[in-house]
Structure 1
Amino acid sequence: MQDKIKPVTSTGIKRAIETRDGRALASFYADHAVARIVDRNNPPSRPREIKGRAAIGAFWDDICGRAMTHRVEVTIAEDDQMAFTQACAYPDGAKVLCMSVVRLENGLIADQTIVQAWDE
């Protein structure tokens, strides 16, 4: 059964992230969406690119399947753009901070850039 596609809202993305609902997160993306991840292993000159709703959904399933907490701290939305910060913590105390900027098309995420840093 295919997930229902629904327009992204700041409340919806916060709920999906904080409840670790990868399926709900995937439903916010356009078929042709691209997510770029910049971090220590994927520098700005060579970001990790994940293309398409299915691949982005698999990425979120992996993240949401990990034993960790997620908290959306700040969300800013205006017209066809949204940005949010996400604080994550593993059971051992290691922390990850993510900042995400998205561009929307017809209410769905078409383009996303995620910058993340974690304790080492």
Structure 2
Amino acid sequence: MATKKETLTRRASRVRRQLKKVSNGRPRLSVHRSSKNIYAQLIDDTKGHTLASASTLDTDLRTSLKTGADTAAAAAVGKLLAERATKAGVTEVVFDRGSFIYHGRIKALAEAAREGGLSF
């Protein structure tokens, strides 16, 4: 029987394997959710560089948010990441949800990033 960590790692690698097939050189919008915060970053896999990042630990978001663990915080991170991505010249990305299901905070971040100008 596989442990929970092994199961999550296998699921994340399965998602990333499928993304590499359809990415066509687009940057990857990677999302990580913890129990207290949410993190997102744009990664250029061909060069191995992070193009833009945002999280609930950023100083401008930390003061304005009640908590970093709700859908409002995730939406704020999505909008901030979209702003930083457009400054970096990125509009087309591939969404990497990792081992998390597309629901709740992950979905709120993705929809806010779409409203901010990113297309995926």
Same fold, judged at TM 0.5 (above): no
The structure with the largest strand share of the pair is 1
The structure with the largest helix share of the pair is 2
Normalised TM-score (structure 2): 0.26
Normalised TM-score (structure 1): 0.26
